[in-house]
Amino acid sequence: MVLTDDIFEFVVDNLTRRFDLAYYQPGFICEQVVEACKAFNLRPELRQEMVAEALTNLYFDLQDSEDSKRIRFE
């Protein structure tokens, strides 16, 4: 997979708006993109849509998790 300047800037911008950068994130993002491409029978490619989806899998919102627990058990 080729990391273009546009994709690099997209990743850094999205991560630094919400989180600190961490050493594991590049590998995680690439793994997520590769697996998504396999699932859709696509050639692995760092496209913005695929990277954006990988970024959504990077973290989850604890508040959303707590809200869903309350809703489910009320």
In angstroms, the CA 50 to CA 42 distance is 11
Confirm whether pTM is higher than 0.75: no
Angle between helices 48-56 and 5-18 (to 10 degrees): 20
Query: Quick check: 52 and 14 in contact, CB under 8 A?
Result: yes
Looking at residue 53, the DSSP 8-state letter turns out to be H
Q: Six-digit token pair at 34?
A: 């590769």
Average pLDDT over residues 22-29: 85
Residue with the bigger pLDDT between 64 and 35: it is: 35
CA triplet 65, 52, 22: central angle to 5 degrees? 75
